[in-house]
Structure 1
């Protein structure tokens, strides 16, 4: 059982590093993104309930740097909220993206938080450590670094 877990974690780490080094190199790196660069989430609200004139705070912080659209989701399952950067540049170098300097990842994270605000009225968070201190281990450090970067990664 431990071998299965290690194999899964190793595969996940390799996939994450590969997507950061070359985000256009695999089909999984482009999942959730249309050809025109739009990032999308499905919000479980009627299209009339999503007012683009008063965007939720995470998207409003981008100001005029983004374009936003709201269309009915397929099969009447809510609203498809889309956003993209107006000034789309090629992805920066891998070290910069690993360090968190990725405007598209920031937009992806803001889009997910906006979805939560529209659906439940709050951004849901997880407390990282319920109590006490953990002993630092190499695996734990890797997991902590990966957890910090997960907010901007999205589903790939």
Structure 2
């Protein structure tokens, strides 16, 4: 039984490595397909002319305008506008590693945050933030939640 339990993670790692090797052999993983160069996209429940009013980007994206490329297009099913952004410069692999992301040093986190804030501004007119502090006295669980909350600012779901 013990042998079977440790074989599951080993098999999963082997499958992941084989998929990655197969994708590289078929030409995937080159050019724009690198993780740091992918388009990050949100769907905004507004028409395209509201998203790029007078040809200008929403303020959170405007702050990064010299570092990012931005594109807009109608969302499928006439459900608003897709707002996409990516960094202009290729992201070094070390900057996208798990330790860099946990330390808040992944440059893509700024783009994710700007997209979330732009969506909030366009749809609600303001950027809603959680009340702080959520409790009046620190507890062990509260410290853990606080740590995770501080580190997740750039990794939220788009």
Tell me the residue number matched to 1:88: 90
Q: How many angstroms apart in 2 are the aligned matches of 1:50 and 1:94?
A: 33
Q: How many residues align?
A: 122
Q: Secondary structure at the match of 1:68?
A: strand
Q: Secondary structure at the match of 1:81?
A: strand
Report the Cα offset of residue 150 of structure 1.
1.9
Q: Secondary structure at the match of 1:152?
A: coil
Tell me the residue number matched to 1:151: 153
Report the Cα offset of residue 115 of structure 1.
0.4
For structure 1, list consecutive stretches of 5 or more residues without a partner in the other structure: 1-24, 26-33
Q: How many angstroms apart in 1 are the aligned matches of 2:47 and 2:118?
A: 15
Say whether the 8 Å CA contact 2:46–2:80 is kept in structure 1. Answer: yes
Report the Cα offset of residue 99 of structure 1.
1.1
Higher mean C-alpha deviation, range 99-108 or range 88-97: 88-97
How does 1:1-156 map onto structure 2 within 5 Å?
Answer: 35=33, 37-51=38-52, 53-91=55-93, 92=95, 93-130=97-134, 132-135=136-139, 137=140, 139-155=141-157
Q: Which has the larger radius of gyration?
A: 2
Report the Cα offset of residue 37 of structure 1.
0.6
CA RMSD of aligned residues (A): 2.2
Say whether the 8 Å CA contact 2:51–2:58 is kept in structure 1. Answer: no
Q: How many angstroms apart in 2 are the aligned matches of 1:104 and 1:55?
A: 18
Q: How many angstroms apart in 2 are the aligned matches of 1:81 and 1:37?
A: 13
Q: What TM-score comes out, normalization by structure 1 length? A: 0.69
Q: What TM-score comes out, normalization by structure 2 length? A: 0.69
